[in-house]
Amino acid sequence: MPLKTSSFKKEIVKQNLRNVGWVSIVYFIGLLFVLPLQLVMALGGENGVESGSGGLFSITFIFHVQAIFLFTMPVLMAIFIFRYMHVSASSDFIHSLPIKRGKLFNYHVGAGVLLLVAPIVIVGLILFVFMGTADVSAFYNLADLGRWTMFMLIVTLLVFIACVFVGTLTGLSAVQGVLTYIFLLFPMGIIGLIYFHLSFFIYGLSSSTLLDRWGQQLSPIVDIAVYHPQLIENGEIHIPVDYPVLGIYIVVTVLLYFLSAFIYKRRQLEAASHPIAVNWLKPVFKIGVTFCLALFFGLYFSQTQGTLPWVIFGYVLGGITGFFIATMLIAKTWRVFTFYHLKRLGMYSATVAALLVLIPLVFIGYENQIPEQEEVENVYVGSHYYQYEDYKASDEVDFIESEETIEAVRNLHERMLQERSSLNNNGESIFIAYQLKNGNVIQRSYDVNRSLVEEEYEQVSQTDEFKEMQMPFLVAEATSIDSIYIVNPLRFEVTISASNQKRELLEHLKQDIYSESYSETFGSSEIDSYGMVRIDGGEEIYFPLRRSYENTMEWLQAEDLYDEVILEAGDINHLEVFRNGGAADQQGFNAFQQLKDSGEEPLVIEDPGQINQVLEAGDGGSNDAYLVGVFLHEENPQADMIASFDEDEAPSFITESLQDSE
Amino acid sequence: MIEVQDIEKTFEKEKVLNKVTFHVQKGSIYGLLGSNGAGKTTLMRMIAGIIRQKSGQVRVNDTPVFENEEVKQLMVFLPDSLYFLPQYTVKQMANFYKDMYNSWNEERYQALKDVFNLEENKKVSHFSKGMQRQVAFWLAMSCMPDVLILDEPFDGLDAVMRKKVRSLIIQDVADREMTVLISSHNLREVEDICDHVGILHKGEMMFERDLDDLKADVHKIQVAFKGEQESILNSDLDIMHYEKRGTVLLMIVKGNEDEITDAIKQYQPVIFDRLPLTLEEIFIYEMGGAGYAIENVLV
């Protein structure tokens, strides 16, 4: 027998190049179009330079197209390079050759990696050459190029290996493609779904707490899809995926590689053309599909119907659908309605039903927990978890510490527990976070109908501490405030940046906001202006600019800004007023449109004096007895804005004339 | 050379092979017979090291085959549905085999080019089915395997080509003691090439025979006696089958030829002829004895 000349099988690599080289070429051409070509066009200056600090992830280099390549090319590569594994004849041929499975796997993964890395590196080199030959500093620098190359390499390889991994589990290439995307979305989807549903059954559990914190990062697809290059601020270097998460991607890639190699070596080759190639995966797949679809249908009915029986109906319908779809996929036939499968479904349903009954019992303690007054260090009250996170991260952190206010919050909390209804989606969101003296944090989130907890809510919302928490600029140093914008309802924006103006405006706002009564606090309508404050380059903080803020209004008039920032009769052509007798089942604009379409005659107001009266009449109420359509121009077919007010707030000429017309 | 010991295999809870045991000696040509679905292909894929048995052992050269590069270097497997790398020419396929098999013999490859007379630079997929099978043999024989595993190898070959391929195989067996395992559902296809035959039925090895022994062992005899016709039936002869055609008695008898001749001579037959017996007939009688109708086992 001749001696082994070389153990490296170059023919396998050659075969892979012949087979899937085209994927590499398409990837290369794609990247060539979105990077160097875009750069040349931008340098040509036809469209002007859109400079930004997004580097190679910016709009100039159409990042979303890059992202599409990022999530299709590695998947195509993995599908085609491991296609042989899913076709019985080629699988038999390759595996009859004198080469170990592990080696075979590595040759194919290696060739795939090589073919995916090459286009990225070559495009990177081209961009590097540009740096030496043209002035590209407006677009990117060396660090940007490094970040881009690193990011592209890491994500490409992650997606590739993820698809290889899925490929070892299935025996059909089409299923491999579909399952890869499901796999890349799955961690986020399933955790979101589970959490969302737990929040139905566990009162006070926020469905958004976890997802707000790192939900999107659980799925590379979502994380990269939600990246907006234009959100870059303050010269901060942004990369579509945070560095720690990129680190996790690397770890996951390596783990998936070893896992795939392990499964590949043990994979039953006769499973080619079976949708699920690994036996232990079949029940997992079946239960997974059943469970997910049940949750998904439950979600649908919770959003559309919002009652528990409908949600349960959704679980049952989704569960049955999911179970039979999964069974059909595995059996590759639709005739699966046998007693055997029905028995399986029954067993599954019984288990899930038991869980549904048991889980809320486990969490009773969690639901009813309100920390004792003396345990509490401080409290945050707001409407959403993410506000809390932002607030914690900002410079002006000032939680509620006074005993009376903590007491008021605990009273509100207690009251909400009495009015429990975890399926209420239309109520007011209230988020409470207690920082305990022992270091623990208790976070709860509720959706309640405000009218049910009015008294307790008023106690909390009227405190200065609460107001300061909602509007941190009330306590901020005037010098730390970058600028104040006021936006009037016509979307016309005025910037106040002179420091004495900022200081004075803030002073007046403080007076008005601190003295604001509870009934004023709510219901701002479209005809009101609002302001935005940015403190030390942080997030913008909104505040309503109500006509009832007398001090502020006077100041605005004194500064000749009133006309610019407040909507007046002079801006308006006419008003159309309907009495909303509860006929419309919708709100705001839709309700107005519905009334108008119904042929009812509105009260038309054209007199400037009366218009001003209407504008000042009120800031809307909860029952919208009157709907006012604001028309800026005669010829407008549709109202530009909708206002509303309660019966007792309406100016007398409206109540009288609309009463008469009935 | 090939030892298969008690192997079992199930596909999705369905037992495909059940305690199959057989041996193929070095330099022998073994015919694995069985109807469709008997488990032949599964068994061959297992011997070729493609799939793994659930239990039992498959050994070639006294070493387990599965995931064993060295043993697989000695073997070439030709499946019933042939596969060639997409868009490959014969030449490219040859290079691929050359890279995979250390024993690749370029001279042999060149020599066989004349035998098969096929265009070397043509894409294999452009050849007809029969020509593709010739290409497969061409490549396989050029690898100079010690063990050649052929699943339904003669499908699609015309008579001339079959003869050519058969002589190639026999030549290698004679020259360098190549071991060959051939599967077929058709006994007639393999009877002129195999020296051993095993019949696989419903996942079980029904029986194995050395064909030379078998032919020497079973005889078709036509006799007629003057007196009592039936008395011979009570003799010591191992008569597997008999039928009366008028005064002539047709018998299938098992045993040593000389002994049978002696035994029959004692009855002083008027007519005593030994008739030629096809392998198929032998099987019919052998298996009829075992309680099977051959039509159910072989097509």
Q: Which has the closest alpha carbon to A627: A580, A568, A567?
A: A580
* A253-279: average pLDDT: 87
Domain carrying residue A306: 281-366
**Residue of chain B with shortest Cα separation from A20:** B86
Q: Is the Cβ of A15 closer than 8 Å to some Cβ of chain B? A: yes
Do residues A143 and A164 share a domain? Answer: yes
- The pLDDT of residue A231 is 47
The arithmetic mean of pLDDT across residues A6-32, rounded, is: 90
B290: closest CA among B260, B192, B23, B282? Answer: B282
Does position A649 have pLDDT exceeding 60, yes or no?
yes
To probe the interface with A, which of B67, B70, B105, B132 has the most A CB atoms within 10 Å? Answer: B67
Best mean pLDDT range from A132-141, A332-341, A424-433, B146-155:
B146-155
| CATH code assigned at A552 | 2.60.40.4250
Chain A CB contacts of B69 below 8 Å: 98-100
CA distance B154 to chain A (A): 18
Select from A138, A124, A161, A145 the least CA-distant residue to A53. A138
Residue intervals of chain B classified under CATH 3.30.70 are: 213-297
Would you give the distance in Å from CA A518 to the centre of its chain?
32
Q: Are residues A380 and A497 in the same domain?
A: no
Domain end call among A346, A366, A386: A366
Nearest-CA distance from B16 to chain A in Å? 12
Which residues does chain B have within 8 Å of residue A11's beta carbon, measured at their own beta carbons?
Answer: 95-96, 98-100
The DSSP line for A302-359 is HHHT-SHHHHHHHHHHHHHHHHHHHHHHHHTSS----HHHHHHHHHHHHHHHHHHHHH
Q: Which of A270, A292, A316 is the last residue of a domain?
A: A270
| pLDDT-based confidence at residue A330 (cuts at 50, 70, 90) | confident
Q: Does residue A251 form part of some domain?
A: yes
User: Using a CB-CB distance cutoff of 8 angstroms, which residues of chain A are in contact with residue B52?
Assistant: 268
- Cβ of A10 within 8 Å of Cβ of B99? The answer is yes
- State whether A9 and B45 contact (CB < 8 Å): no
Q: Of A1, A3, A11, which has the smallest distance from its Cβ to B96's Cβ? A: A11
- Whether residues B77 and A96 touch (CB distance < 8 A) is answered with yes
pLDDT of residue A662: 44
Q: Which of A148-157, A476-485, A572-581 has the highest mean pLDDT?
A: A148-157
Whether B83 shows a pLDDT value over 50: the answer reads yes
Same domain, A44 and A130: yes
Model pLDDT, residue A657 = 74
Are residues A318 and A359 located together in one domain of the fold? yes
Residues A400 and A488 in one domain: no
Nearest to A96 among B48, B69, B81 (CB): B48
Return the minimum-mean-pLDDT range out of A41-55, A57-71, A368-382, B103-117.
A41-55
Interface contacts (A, B; CB < 8 Å)? 69
ipTM over 0.95: no
Burial (Cβ within 10 Å: 0-12, 13-18, ≥19) of residue B62: exposed
Best A7, A88, A93, A105 member to test B by mutation, with max B CBs in 10 Å, is A93
* Candidate from B73, B79, B86 with C-beta closest to A98: B73
Give the other-Cβ count within 10 Å of A405's Cβ: 21
Residue A279's closest chain B neighbor by CA? B12
Which residue from B26, B69, B79 is spatially nearest to B49, judged by alpha carbons? B69
Q: Is A10 on the interface with B (CB under 8 A)?
A: yes
Residue A45's Cβ-count burial label (10 Å; 0-12, 13-18, 19+) is exposed
Give the number of C-alpha atoms closer than 13 A to the C-alpha of residue A11, restricted to the C-beta side.
18
What per-residue confidence (pLDDT) applies to A2?
43
Q: Which residue of chain A comes nearest to B11, CA vs CA? A: A270
Chosen domain end from A366, A389, A407: A366
A340 touches chain B (CB under 8 A): no
For the segment A281-295, what is each residue's pLDDT rounded down to a tens digit?
A: 888 888 888 988 888
Q: How far is B28 from chain A (nearest CA, A)?
A: 21
Q: Say yes or no for a CB contact (<8 Å) between A98 and B83.
A: no
Tokens of A578: 């309907």
If one compares B287 and A383, the residue with the highest pLDDT of the two is A383
Is 60 exceeded by the pLDDT of residue A246? Answer: yes
* Inter-chain touch B100–A11, beta carbons under 8 Å: yes
pLDDT digits (tens, 9 = 90+) for B208-260: 888 888 778 888 888 888 777 677 777 778 888 888 888 888 888 888 888 88
- The strands making up A481-487's β-sheet, listed across from edge to edge, are A493-496, A481-487, A529-535, A540-545
Domain count, chain A: 5
Where is pLDDT greater, at A427 or A224?
Answer: A224
Question: Is A333 part of the contact surface with chain B (CB cutoff 8 Å)?
Answer: no
**Per CATH, domain B213-297 is 1.20.120:** no
Fold of B2-202: Rossmann fold (3.40.50)
Answer yes or no: is pLDDT of B262 > 80: yes
- For chain A, the average pLDDT equals 81
Q: Which of A1, A18, A265 lies nearest to residue B102, judging by beta carbons? A: A1
Please identify among residues 77-96 of chain A the ones whose CB lies closer than 8 Å to any CB of chain B.
Answer: 88-93, 95-96
Residue A163 has pLDDT above 90, yes or no: yes
Q: Are residues A34 and A174 in the same domain?
A: yes
To the nearest whole number, what is the mean pLDDT of chain B? 86
Chain A residue at shortest CA distance from B68 = A100
Lowest mean pLDDT among A233-237, A264-268, A380-384, B275-279: A233-237
**A104 and A17 inside one domain:** yes
A202 located within any domain: no
pLDDT at A588: 67
pLDDT at A5: 47
What is residue B7's three-state secondary structure?
Answer: strand
Q: Are residues A444 and A522 in the same domain?
A: no
Inter-chain residue contact B103 with A19, CB threshold 8 Å:
no
Q: What average pLDDT does the segment A310-338 reach?
A: 88
Among A15, A93, A265, the residue with its CB nearest the CB of B83 is: A93
Task: Examine the pLDDT at A28 and tell me if it is beyond 80.
Answer: yes
Q: Is A237 exposed, middle or buried (0-12, 13-18, 19+ CB in 10 A)?
A: exposed
Pick the residue from chain A with its C-alpha nearest to B69: A98
Res A476 pLDDT > 80? no
A18 touching B, CB under 8 A? Answer: yes
Tell me the residue type at B215.
K
| A384 and A498 fall within a common domain | no
Mean pLDDT value of segment A564-581: 78
Q: Do A338 and A250 fall into the same domain?
A: no
Q: Considering only CB atoms, which residues of chain B are within 8 Å of chain A?
A: 11, 45, 48-52, 67, 69-73, 75-77, 79, 81-83, 85-87, 95-96, 98-103
Q: How large is the average pLDDT for residues A604-625?
A: 71
Residue A623's pLDDT is what? 55
Candidates A303, A328, A304, A302; CA nearest to A315 is A302
**A59 plus A167 within the same structural domain:** yes
Same domain, A350 and A382: no
Q: Which of A2, A90, A265 sits opposite B83 (nearest CB)?
A: A90
pLDDT band at residue A209, thresholds of 50, 70 and 90?
A: low
Q: Which of A99, A100, A269 sits opposite B51 (nearest CB)?
A: A269
Touching check for A21 and chain B: CB below 8 Å? no
Please give the residue that has the higher pLDDT: either B294 or A528: A528
User: According to the model, what pLDDT value does residue A587 have?
Assistant: 64
Residue A533 counted as domain residue: yes
Confidence of residue B64 (pLDDT cuts 50, 70, 90): very high
From B233's Cα to the closest Cα of chain A, the distance in A is 53
Question: In which band, very low, low, confident or very high, does the pLDDT at A116 lie, cut at 50, 70 and 90?
Answer: very high
